[in-house]
């Protein structure tokens, strides 16, 4: 069954895919238009189990032996939860009008009441406000990716301060930054604008990225063929570095950890490459130090790469 296969893929994504599995997953998603929705449901079910754990009594630290055991149990149990979701469990209704916050290092996959899906990145906060006429989401901090169910009669709008992103039946990512928001379109077309400006909306299509400043300036640029997938690898718990500076890479990793990684200014502009799990700060730190010819210094909750 499609749902059973989707559960298997959700479990594999949860623990990390190798190169062969990534190719196989892409082929499976391309086989049938229903596969992507089934996978999103299964991932949402896995996220629900994580949320249930957070409300329970087990308190394992990320990376601990107990946490790896929990992941194995989730992979066993996700099929039952996903079947319940597919059979009308009502998870979408649980999220109607709900504020959703993620902790440091947490990535949450959630079905919305209208059939859309949201993937919420680490240290982010959104609020869902759906009515019969409108679908509004407020992103007060962080980042979220949305796959929007088609419904022309109910506009789907994400607000990030005065910045607005509106879509009907499309997929896009919004990352809020100081004084601006970055919008990346992975499917279809969106309209972007700022309520602080009298300028009309700007169209951003698939394969494009827009920086929308709160004052109203909009800068649209095309994306390199693989940049969108690399930039959004966080949805699968990965960070892909493609000739990124060490300082930029450290900034990305610090989004997912309480411990902070600091870079000596003498090394900050050196280039690093590779892909890593978002929870593998130690692995990245060691690899990055080798790439830039530095060394790792640890001081309590701080980790530094120095010459």
For 24-28, 116-120, 143-147, which range has the lowest pLDDT when averaged over its residues? 24-28
pLDDT of 101-139, one tens digit each?
Answer: 999 999 988 888 888 889 999 999 999 988 889 999 999
User: Which of 65, 89, 113 delimits the end of a domain?
Assistant: 89
Comparing 181 with 75, the larger pLDDT belongs to 181
- Quick one: 84 and 102 in the same domain? no
Is residue 43 very low, low, confident or very high in pLDDT (cuts 50, 70, 90)?
A: confident
* Shared-domain flag, residues 98 and 134: yes
Long-range (24+ apart) CB contacts under 8 A made by 46-50 are: 46/10, 46/11, 46/14, 46/74, 46/78, 46/81, 46/109, 47/108, 47/109, 47/110, 48/81, 48/85, 48/91, 49/74, 49/77, 49/78, 49/81, 50/74, 50/106, 50/108
Residue where a domain stops, chosen among 233, 248, 275: 233
CATH number at residue 127: 2.60.120.1440
- Distance of alpha carbon 206 from alpha carbon 186, whole angstroms: 5
Query: Is the confidence at residue 52, as pLDDT, over 60?
Result: no
Query: Do residues 66 and 147 both lie within one domain?
Result: no
CATH code assigned at 254: 3.55.50.30
Cα dist from 48 to 99, 128, 186, 228, whole Å: 15, 17, 25, 27
* Most distant CA atoms of the chain, gap in Å: 59
- Split at pLDDT 50, 70, 90, the class of 3 is low
Boundary of a domain, candidates 40, 60, 89:
89
The mean pLDDT value for 14-28 works out to 81
**Cβ contact 131:125 at 8 Å:** no
Question: What's residue 189's pLDDT?
Answer: 94
Examine the domain organization and report whether 134 and 199 are in the same domain. yes
In the prediction, which pLDDT does 123 show? 94
- Full-prediction pTM beyond 0.85? no
Instruction: Tell whether 102 and 171 lie within a shared domain.
Output: yes
Q: Are residues 62 and 19 in the same domain?
A: yes
**Does 78 score more than 60 pLDDT?**
no
Indicate if 117 and 80 belong to the same structural domain: no
Under the banding of pLDDT at 50, 70 and 90, the label for residue 35 is confident
Question: Given this model, what pLDDT does residue 87 score?
Answer: 45
Question: Are 120 and 208 found together in one domain?
Answer: yes
| Distance between CA atoms of residues 303 and 282, nearest Å | 9
The answer to whether residue 206 scores a pLDDT higher than 70 is yes
Looking at residue 208, its pLDDT comes to 93
Same domain, yes or no: 192 and 215: yes
Q: Domain tally for the chain?
A: 3
- The tens digit of pLDDT for each residue in 80-108 reads 544 444 444 444 444 455 688 999 999 98
* 27 and 159 share one domain: no
Indicate if 76 and 163 belong to the same structural domain: no
- 167 shares its domain with 126: yes
Check residue 118 and give its pLDDT.
92
| Range of the structural domain that residue 271 is part of | 237-306
């Amino acid at each position: 069954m499609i749902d059973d296969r989707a559960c298997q893929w959700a479990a594999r994504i949860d623990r990390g895919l190798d190169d062969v599995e990534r190719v196989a997953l892409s082929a499976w998603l391309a086989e049938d238009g229903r596969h992507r929705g089934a996978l999103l449901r299964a991932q949402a079910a896995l996220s629900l189990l994580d949320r249930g754990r957070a409300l329970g009594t087990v308190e394992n630290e990320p990376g601990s032996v107990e946490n790896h055991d929990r992941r194995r149990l989730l992979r066993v149990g996700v099929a039952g939860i996903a079947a319940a979701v597919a059979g009308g469990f009502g998870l979408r209704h649980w999220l109607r009008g709900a504020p959703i916050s993620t902790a440091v290092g947490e990535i949450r996959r959630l079905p919305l009441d209208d059939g859309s899906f949201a993937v919420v990145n680490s240290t982010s906060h959104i609020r869902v406000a759906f009515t019969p006429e409108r679908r509004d989401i407020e992103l007060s901090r962080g980042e979220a990716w949305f796959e929007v169910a088609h419904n022309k009669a109910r506009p789907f709008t994400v607000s990030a301060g005065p910045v607005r992103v509106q879509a009907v039946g499309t997929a896009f990512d919004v990352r809020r930054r100081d004084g601006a928001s970055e919008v990346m379109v992975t499917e279809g077309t969106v309209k972007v604008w700022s309520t602080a400006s009298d300028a009309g909306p700007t169209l951003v299509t698939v394969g494009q990225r827009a920086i929308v400043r709160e004052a109203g300036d909009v800068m649209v640029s095309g994306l390199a063929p693989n940049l969108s997938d690399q930039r959004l690898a966080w949805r699968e718990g990965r960070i892909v570095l493609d000739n990124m500076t060490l300082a930029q890479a450290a900034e990305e990793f610090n989004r997912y950890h309480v411990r902070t990684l600091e870079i000596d200014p003498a090394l900050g502009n050196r280039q690093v490459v590779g892909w890593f799990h978002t929870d593998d700060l130690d692995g990245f730190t060691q690899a990055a130090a080798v790439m830039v010819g530095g060394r790792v210094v640890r001081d309590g909750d701080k980790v530094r790469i120095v010459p």
